Structure 1
Amino acid sequence: MAGDNERIKLTLELLGTGLYPIIEQEMKAIYQDDWIDRAKESFRNSPLTSQPEGDAIRWDAHSTLLILWDHWNSVFRNRLTPLERSYVGELREFRNRWAHQSQISTDDTLRILDTAARLLSAAGSAQEARQLQRERDQLLHQILQYQEQIVIDSDDQRRERMRDAIIFLVCAVAIDLVIFFSYGTGGLAILFALFVAGVFAFLAYQRWVTPDRPTYGAHECTNCGKIIYGEACPYCNEDLPV
C-alpha cells in the first residue's frame, strides 16, 4: 500500500528521538560520566554496527534499539518490563529488514507502528507515541476501506444490488397497472402513475449505485478509549482520516 515506506521511515526517526531521553537518563544513572563510552561498547559487539569507533553516536533507531537491548540487564530492566524488551527485539528485526530493503507488507507496517507506539509510550515519549498512534489509525482505516471496496465490487454484491433494483422496477410497473385498471387513463391517474414510477425508479437507481456500507456497533475509540457507536468519535471531535 502506498505510503508504507514513508511510515516506516517516520517510525524509525521517532524511535531515535523518542528513546534517546530514557537512554541518557538511565545510562547516566548507572555509568555516570562514562555512559557514552559504555554505550559505544554495544557497537563494537554488534556485527551490524554503523557507528565508527571514535565518532559521536548517531542517535537513530539502530543506535537506541541496540543500546536498549545490549544494556537491558544492567540498566533498563528496572525501568521497562520484559514485554517492552520483546518490543525492542521485534523492532530491531524490522529495522534490519527495512535497512536491507527486504519486503515489508502492509500488515507488518501496521504492526511496526503499533509496537513502536507502545514502546515509546512505555519509555515516556508521549508525543512521539501519539503521532505513531495516529499513523496507525490512518493505515488501519485505509486497510478497512480497501477491504470494504473488495466486498462492494464482488460479483455477489453486484447481483444482489441488481436483483433489488429490478424488484423496485417491477413494483413500479405493477402499481401503475393497478392504477390504470382502477382509475382509467385520466389526467390524475397518469400523474399518480408517473409519480409512482419516478419514486421507484429513484429507489432502483439508489440501490444500484449506492452499495451497503458497514454499520458500527459499540466499540472503543482508538484515540480516547471511550465507548462510541459510530465511525467518528464525538468526544474527540475528530473524524477518521480519509
Structure 2
Amino acid sequence: MAGDNERIKLALELLGTGLYPVIEQEMKAVYQDSWIDRAKESFRNSPLTSQPEGDAIRWDAHSTLLILWDHWNSVFRNRFTPLERSFVGELREYRNRWAHQSQINTDDTLRILDTAARLLSAAGARKEAQQLQKERDQLLYQILQYQEQVIVDSPDNRRERLRDAIVFLVCGIVIDLGIFFSYGTGGLAILFAIFVTAVFVFLAYQRWVTPDKPSYGAHECTNCGKIIYGESCPYCSETTVNT
C-alpha cells in the first residue's frame, strides 16, 4: 500500500528521538560519566552501524534499540517489563529488514507502528507515541476501506444486486398487469401504471448502483474509546462541533 515506506521511516525517526531521553537518564544513573563510552561499546559488535568518531553518537532507531537490548540486564530491566524487551527485539528485526530493503508488507507496517507506539508510551515519550498511534489508525482505516471495496466489487455482491434489481422490475410489471386487469386501460389506470413503473424502475436502479457495505457492528472508537455502531464516531463529531 502506498505510504508504507514513509510510515516506517517516520516510526524509526520517532523511536530515535523518543527513546534517547530515557536511555540517557538510565545509562547515566548506572554508569555515571562513562555512560557514553559504555554505550559506544555496543556498536563494536554490530556490523549494522556507522557511528561517528569520538564521543558523538548518532541517536537513530538502530542506536537506541541496540543500546536498550545490549544493556537490558544491567540498566533497563528495572525500568521496562519483559514485554517491552520483546518489543525492542521485534523492532530491531524490522529495522534491519527495512535497512536491507527487504519486503515489508502493509500488515507488517501496521505491526511496526503499533509496537513502536507501545514502546514509546512505556518510555514516557507520549508525543511520539500519539503520533504513531494516529498513523496506525489511519493505516488501519485504509486497510478497512480496501477490504470493503473488495467486498463491494466481488462477483457475489454484483449478482445479489442484480437479482434484487430484477425482483423490483418483476414486481412493478406484476402490479401494472394487476392494474390493467382490474381497472382496464383508461386514462387514470395508465397514469397509475406509469407511476408504479417509475417507482420500481427507480428502486431497481438504486439497488444496482448502490452496493451493500459491510456492517461495522458495535466497536470501540479508536479516538475517544466510546462504543459506536457505525464507521464515524458521533461523539467525536459532536466534540468538534462544540469546540
Secondary structure of the residue that 1:49 maps to in structure 2? coil
Q: Which amino acid aligns with 2:78?
A: N
Structure 2 equivalent of residue 156 of structure 1 = 156
The question of 1:234 aligning with 2:231 is answered no
Q: Which amino acid aligns with 2:29?
A: A
Structure 2 equivalent of residue 165 of structure 1 = 165
TM-superposed CA distance for 1:175, in Å, is 0.6
Structure 2 equivalent of residue 51 of structure 1 = 51
Structure 1 equivalent of residue 13 of structure 2 = 13
TM-score between both structures, scaled by the size of structure 1: 0.94
Instruction: Provide the C-alpha distance between the structure 2 equivalents of 1:20 and 1:83, rounded to a whole number of angstroms.
Output: 19
Within 5 Å, give how 1:63-142 maps onto structure 2.
Answer: 63-142=63-142
Structure 2 equivalent of residue 40 of structure 1 = 40
Within 5 Å, give how 1:139-218 maps onto structure 2.
Answer: 139-218=139-218
Mean alpha-carbon deviation: is it higher for 163-172 or for 41-50?
41-50
Instruction: Provide the C-alpha distance between the structure 2 equivalents of 1:61 and 1:157, rounded to a whole number of angstroms.
Output: 45
Structure 1 equivalent of residue 28 of structure 2 = 28
Instruction: Provide the C-alpha distance between the structure 1 equivalents of 2:195 and 2:20, rounded to a whole number of angstroms.
Output: 71
Mean alpha-carbon deviation: is it higher for 169-178 or for 213-222?
213-222
Structure 1 equivalent of residue 222 of structure 2 = 222
* CA deviation string 1:129-164 (max 9, x = no partner): 111111111111111111121121111111111111
Which stretches in structure 1 are left out of the alignment for 5+ residues? Answer: none
Secondary structure of the residue that 1:232 maps to in structure 2? coil
Aligned length: 238
CA separation of 1:107 and 1:165: change in aligned 2, threshold 3 A? same
TM-score between both structures, scaled by the size of structure 2: 0.93
Secondary structure of the residue that 2:235 maps to in structure 1? coil
* CA deviation string 1:10-55 (max 9, x = no partner): 1111111111111111111112222112111111122222214425
TM-superposed CA distance for 1:126, in Å, is 0.9
Instruction: Provide the C-alpha distance between the structure 2 equivalents of 1:151 and 1:49, rounded to a whole number of angstroms.
Output: 45
Q: Does the 8 Å CA contact 2:168/2:203 hold for their aligned counterparts?
A: yes
Q: What is the RMSD of the two structures over their aligned residues, measured on CA atoms? A: 1.4
Instruction: Provide the C-alpha distance between the structure 2 equivalents of 1:135 and 1:64, rounded to a whole number of angstroms.
Output: 21
Q: Which amino acid aligns with 2:175?
A: I
Secondary structure of the residue that 1:235 maps to in structure 2? helix
Instruction: Provide the C-alpha distance between the structure 2 equivalents of 1:64 and 1:2, rounded to a whole number of angstroms.
Output: 28
Q: Does the 8 Å CA contact 2:221/2:228 hold for their aligned counterparts?
A: yes
Which stretches in structure 2 are left out of the alignment for 5+ residues? Answer: 239-243
